[in-house]
Structure 1
Amino acid sequence: MTHNTPLSPRPLHDLADVRRRVVRTAQLRAQGLTPADITTRCRPGGPWQQLLPGVHLLHPGPPTSEERLHAVLLYAAREATPGVPAQPGPSHPGPSHSGPSHSGPSHPGASNAPRHVYADAVITGLAALTLHGFTATPPLPSLDHIDVLVPRLRRLRTTGCARVIRTAALPAPETVTGLPVAPVPRALADAVADLADADAVRHLLTEAVRAGHCDPASVVRELTRAKLLNRPHVVDAVDSLIAEGRSLAEDRLYAMVSAYGLPDPVWNVGLRLPGGPHLGGLDAYWPDQAVAIELDTRAPRQTEDTQWSEYARKREHLERLGITVVHITPRKLRDAMEQQAAIVRTALMASADRDPAAYVVVLPR
């Protein structure tokens, strides 16, 4: 038998499933192939190639982006216990039984067991952002490496196109094109950790918020966890991100008042007592009902306890004066606008049952 002798009557180009084109050495061994057989087929000019240690591509020529992604996951994923087939998870269902069955010998990459679950391996970084649909990231074929998260105690090394990032706790992955992919905030943090270009960092963070992938608070939380806020170019990008988030939140607040028929407030004002101190700024205020809205667009940094205390003191002071303050976050405006409108409407209606508020001077901010 030569290395060109087919192992199955089914030609390779008929196998559309990438999991049959990218396989582990163990899968080939399970089909009866010896290490010498595998080595022979992976020689230059042969029909197969080794993409990563223990991971083979069952056709010649460059791998596709999809094949590279699956190869990295196969390399990094924890193998199932011998004799126990991997169980399909909610994002990786088992093979469909609606199609025709095939009898006889199977292709080396095929298996009658449920599809492999990529346990303890999650795509992150720029590759993950591209999969999430970012336009500021390079296309997958141009990436020299693909970042993959694994538990800290896994004994894996970065090699080939797989760059291993160890973490104390894997994030709950999102399923994108059938692959386990880190949520956008975590993928951003892992990508930013490797970027020194201030413009590139700013573009990524801005797109994350502007395109609705996530809110600024979740991004800054991940950057804080990754200890990246000691880098000046990241801090500058975060300041731009917070400004972008506030602008979007204000637009959504205007839209909420209009869409749900709330009475028009006065926008972006400051309050003070007659002849007294300034009471603070508000994003919206209904003077007749003494109801105010304050958007919380603070960056959730560990050092901002003082700022939160100032927010709380201002709110308590206004409420002692009889002013109801509705505290709204950008995420609530994005994900539950109708609910927030109902809260504001209830506060406006309840004003008739409250004692009159203290007289305050309303100033433009």
Structure 2
Amino acid sequence: MTRNDFTQALRILARDQRQVVTVGQLAGIGVSEVALRKRCGPGGPWQRVLPRVVVLRRGALSAWQRCRAALAYAGYPPAQAQLTGIAALALHGMREVVAPAEVRVVDVLVPADRVLRTHTWVRVHHARALAGREVVDELPVAPLVRAAGDGVRASCDPDWVRAVLRELVWDRGVDPAELAGELRTVSPARRPGIDETLRELSAPGRARRPLGGLVRSLAALAGPRPPLWRPELRLDGVFLARPDAYWAREGVALELGPPGGAGGPLHTCGLRVVRVPPEALTARPAHVVAALRAALSSGPHGPLGRVTVHPDHGSVKGI
């Protein structure tokens, strides 16, 4: 392969994989071991971020590059691998997880017969068989329930676990029985809290409701303009929260959830948070509209000049 051919092949590889490549791919286009060591060494333009994984630039990785590097470490492609856990839940759009850029440990799911171990910031999970997957931004993602199961098994935060389970059932329509089956392998010490939450979610009146249309209708009655739906808010450039809806001019956020959960980072920084139990959308819609109107009319709230919406998140189309 000539130098020109090498350069062109490298350029295409970097473009198609956003600069995340494997050592095997580099060897395939003619990059020698000597050249690889030199370019990844001190002062070189590349960096080894994981065994067998190279990023063709220096500096911190983007959220997408971290996920793609974790998959490359797991052998994808051509080997089977999926993102799971918190990284997958973030890509699925779950509100109760941090933004993709804030995920510190990337979980990957591989078949049980693969010999692959957890390494630094990549946590490896094994499954007898990989079920159907979704592809989000060119990344293979485990099904929602499996991703949630891996996230719950790895978490040490019972409040977060309860919030995730509630969102799955109330907002995503997941059957509590399906969750119970996925979570049957959780350690006995943590099972009582999970079982209690699943019983609560299985109680009469907890069935999934068509929340999206109701929320949009009530929001339209409450204010002169539509809110941004599920935006990623940042305070001084740092991830703050992802509420269900946000009126940027007034500094008012709407969050769906059980009573008693108000507060959090939005409230702490001075924004107005209206927390609405999902059942109130159908049982007490007038109260919901009144609460939103009161919050909007008394604004603006909080340090609006410091709160921004991430350019890739937030729309007026509804949840």
TM over 0.5: yes
CA drift of 1:39 comes to 1.1
Identify the residue that residue 32 of structure 1 maps to in structure 2. Answer: 30
DSSP-derived class of the 2:44 partner: coil
Shift, 1:17, TM fit: 3.8
How many Å apart are 1:121 and its aligned residue? 0.5
Q: Which residue does 1:224 correspond to in 2? A: 184
One-letter amino acid of the structure 1 residue matched with residue 45 of structure 2: P
Asked if 1:157 corresponds to 2:117, the answer is yes
CA distance in 2, matches of 1:57, 1:167: 28
**Distance (whole Å) between structure 1 residues aligned to residue 78 and residue 166 of structure 2:** 31
Alpha-carbon deviation of 1:249?
Answer: 2.7
Q: Does 1:176 align with 2:136?
A: yes
Alignment match, 2:69: 71
User: Is structure 2 residue 205 aligned with structure 1 residue 247?
Assistant: yes
Alignment partner of 1:132 is 2:74: no
1:237 matched residue in structure 2: 197
Which deviates further from its counterpart, 41-50 or 209-218? Answer: 209-218
Question: 1:184 touches 1:214 (CA, 8 Å); kept in 2?
Answer: no
**Pairing partner for 1:52 from 50, 53, 58:** 50
1:141-220 correspondence runs (5 A): 141-212=101-172, 214-220=174-180
Supply the distance in 1 between the matched residues of 2:65 and 2:176 (Cα, whole angstroms).
Answer: 33
State the shift of 1:118 in Å.
5.0
Distance 1:162 1:229, change over 3 A: same
- 1:294-313 matches, within 5 Å, as none
Work out which of the two has the higher radius of gyration on C-alpha atoms and give 1 or 2. 1
Moved over 4 A (4+): 5-16, 225-230
Corresponding pairs, count? 209
Report how far residue 58 of structure 1 moved: 0.5
Normalising by structure 1, what TM-score?
0.51
Q: In the alignment, residue 146 of structure 1 is paired with which amino acid?
A: V
**Offset at 1:235?**
1.6
Counterpart of 1:202 in 2: which secondary structure? helix
For residue 54 of structure 1, report the CA deviation from its aligned partner.
0.4
2:34 alignment partner AA: A
Q: Which amino acid aligns with 1:222?
A: E
Give the residue type in structure 2 aligned to 1:150: V
Unaligned runs of at least 5 residues, structure 2? 211-319
Alignment of 1:78-89 (within 5 A): none
The alpha-carbon deviation at position 227 of structure 1 amounts to 6.4
Q: Match of 1:36, as an amino acid?
A: V
Distance 1:235 1:6, change over 3 A: farther
Asked whether the equivalents of residues 18 and 67 of structure 1 are also in contact (C-alpha less than 8 Å), the reply is no
Counterpart for residue 267 of structure 2: none
Question: What's the % identity of the aligned pairs?
Answer: 38
Q: Would you say the 8 A contact 1:49–1:56 is kept in 2?
A: yes
Kindly provide the amino acid, as one letter, of the partner of residue 24 in structure 1.
T
Whole-angstrom distance in 2 between the partners of 1:211 and 1:226: 23
The one-letter code of the counterpart of 1:249 is A
Matched to 1:66, the amino acid is: W
Match of 1:87 in 2: none
SS in 1 for 2:205: helix
What is the alpha-carbon distance in structure 1 between the residues aligned to residue 146 and residue 71 of structure 2? Answer: 18
- TM-score, normalised on structure 2? 0.58
* Aligned equivalents of 2:208, 2:154: Cα separation in 1: 32
Give the distance between the partners of 1:248 and 1:204, measured in 2 at CA: 15
Give distance in 1, aligned partners of 2:130 and 2:61.
27
Please give the alpha-carbon distance, in whole angstroms, between the structure 2 residues aligned to 1:6 and 1:224.
56
Contact 1:12 1:59 in 2 (8 A): no
Matched to 2:142, the amino acid is A
Residue 26 (structure 1) shift: 0.9
Q: CA RMSD in A?
A: 3.0
